[in-house]
Amino acid sequence: MKQESLLLFCIFFLYGSFSVFGQGSSCESLDPFCAGDEELVFPNSNSTNSSIVNGEPGPDYGCLLSQPYPAWFYLQVEETGNLRFNISQFQNENGGGSQYDVDFIVWGPFERTEDYCTDDSLSELNIVDCSYEPDTVEQMYIPNAEAGQVYVVLITNYEELPGFISLRQTNSDQATSGSTDCGILDEVLGPDRFLCGEDETTLDATTEGVERYEWFQFNETTDDFEIIANEENPTLTLTDSGRYKVIVYENITGQADEDEIEIKFYNEPVANVPDDLYICDPNQTTIDLTSASAQILNGNTSEEDYRVNFYETAQDIEDENSISNPSAFPVEESREIFAQVEGVESGCVSQEVFFSVELTFVPENFLPEESVVCVDLDRTVLAQQGIGEDLGADYEYEWIAEGNTISTEAVLNFTETPNFNNVTLIVTDNRSGCNIEFTTALLVYSRPENVLVEIEGSDFTGGYIINAEATKGIGGETTYEYRADNGAWQESAVFRNLDPGYHTISAREINGCGITTSEEFYLVGYPRFFTPNSDGYNDTWNIENTAEIQIKKLYVFDRYGKLIKELTPNGEGWDGTYNGRTLPADDYWFRVEFEMQNGTSDHYGTNFTLKR
């Protein structure tokens, strides 16, 4: 209202004719109050002026276990500081009569444009002070109140008896105190309304002692308010945004008073689910979440500007704890991100959506720096060979050689010897578009062409030394492994301590490109044992002549040095008997005299075993 009617307004308030407070029995009908330097006295809510017996469901009433005959108010802070009040309740307006138990709760702070009466606003998180003590005088404390903030106060009448409530600020003379704004008593229409996703709203200018109402809408063309015809009731239901004004005429003095309000209807913002975001580079530690904003905002109207707020969890949305630096959000693993669209002017918010931030790394060792293709000595590829690996349907592959795409399969198969030295593979993740490039050098190898064997020494001169040499096959420098007969593979091409008999030496290319075996060769020596059991195997013991060694004399002794047999080289050998008698299994000894290929003579002797 205008300033000239404020005096009348406060007179009604202070002297009991002002009954608006008795009608503030629900949050939607909450009334303003202030407390300046004077004591503020007003009727409580009771059965004579209110039909609301208990507090409405929905708000968190904190310490108030019951809320009999609630009276709802709001106050606005004028000067920043601490606010401390005494609240008391008594039977008579002048403070006389019985004193009644009074209880209260305070929520806040809120902005003027907020809807104070939602369950989210009147929540546990926003409780500032509360008392349910059985006292007739309570202290209400609002610390660190800032100018312009609004607080909602609920005062209850525990004894449910008619009476009056006294409100007095007790710290107004202190340096750290704040103050409430009594000017809000003029605003019978309340603060400007910014409505999200609503089709209509109703203005209520109901004021005690008013004879009639006139409603006006501001015309942008004429730059003036124009009366709304046939609207003379204390309420006005609106469906259009604009500035509106009400003029009330008091029934006693005819004094006109007015109040203005701005109404804005906003569509609820829309948040679209964006495509997931991907990190391709394993060295990347942050991601720009705002790159999803355009998709999230798509479909909103141009009635106001919008921003996208990003959150780590759904709880963060409830707590209004948005990500502070979404353009460089740290990411260590794949995760979900929540987003909400907010109108910059209205504060309207959309439903939340969520999307994923995915780390899509192709293994770094997916393709080695060198790849081997195995061919035979005629350069034909050994069976079908391939390089690469199938990572699944989410990936595409491109093999490039000498600037040309040669395959789009996951595995590059070779059916003939490649005529290029290097091949490049580009792997692309279809979901993210991430790709990584590998280049591998093709190494073509075959098995050795030949394996040559050189024999040194003898079984009678410290043992044989076999030197093998693999003749290189197709391809560049490579490595070969060797083995004697079917023994273990070894890097060395030198073999020692091979038993007398037939042998071969094999060599294989280290990358698995085939095996080549030498011609069979025979090592002359003495048998370490024999088994004269007539099974056709090792039934006799003898030493044979070779091109390298000619046996001159060969004697067999028992362990005591008794001559058992003199053998003829290349003869039938010893059958394990002496003078027709079978000798027992035991160690026996021999002495051999021989002549080597170079003409030198020598002798050798040691033991061997007869097994039965």
What are the boundaries of each domain within the chain?
Answer: 3-186, 193-266, 277-359, 370-445, 450-523, 529-610
CB distance 553 to 592 below 8 Å: yes
Which class does domain 193-266 fall in?
A: mainly beta
- What CATH number should be reported for the domain whose range is 450-523? 2.60.40.10
Into which CATH architecture does domain 370-445 fall? Sandwich (2.60)
Per-residue pLDDT at 16: 34
CB distance 178 to 249 below 8 Å: no
Q: How far apart are CA 42 and CA 32, in angstroms?
A: 12
Q: b/e for 546-576, b at 16 or more Cβ within 10 A? A: beebebeebebbeeeeeebbebebeeebbeb
Per-residue pLDDT at 75: 86
The reply to whether omega before 109 is within 30° of 0 (cis) is yes
CB distance 482 to 506 below 8 Å: yes
Q: Quote the tokens at residue 243.
A: 């500035």
Q: Quote the tokens at residue 426.
A: 């580009």
Parallel, antiparallel or unpaired: strands 81-90 and 137-145: antiparallel
Per-residue pLDDT at 32: 67
- Angle (CA) 237-187-29 rounded to 5° is 60
Domains 3-186 and 450-523 agree in fold: no
- Angle (CA) 51-55-57 rounded to 5° is 120
Q: How far apart are CA 606 and CA 200, in angstroms?
A: 119
The answer regarding whether domain 3-186 maps to CATH 3.40.109.10 reads no
Beta strand ranges found along 230-327 (DSSP E): 235-238, 242-250, 256-266, 277-279, 286-287, 306-311
Q: How far apart are CA 164 and CA 473, in angstroms?
A: 112
Q: How far apart are CA 176 and CA 297, in angstroms?
A: 45
Beta strand ranges found along 267-321 (DSSP E): 277-279, 286-287, 306-311
Q: How far apart are CA 40 and CA 32, in angstroms?
A: 12
Determine how many CB atoms are found less than 10 A away from the CB of residue 605.
Answer: 13
Phi-psi region of 462 (alpha: psi -120 to 50; beta: other; left: phi over 0): left
CA distances to 125, 126, 272, 306, 356 from 323, rounded to whole Å, are: 20, 22, 19, 17, 15
Q: What is the DSSP letter of 377?
A: T
- What CATH number should be reported for the domain whose range is 529-610? 2.60.40
Average pLDDT along the chain, 612 residues, taken 10 residues at a time? 31 34 63 73 89 92 95 87 94 92 95 81 96 94 92 94 92 89 62 89 83 92 94 93 89 68 92 92 90 93 90 94 95 93 91 92 79 93 90 92 95 92 92 88 95 88 90 91 96 92 94 94 85 91 84 94 90 92 95 86 90 92
Q: Reduced to 3 states, what is the DSSP secondary structure of residue 12?
A: helix
Per-residue pLDDT at 261: 93
Q: Quote the tokens at residue 188.
A: 């019978």
Q: How far apart are CA 104 and CA 57, in angstroms?
A: 17
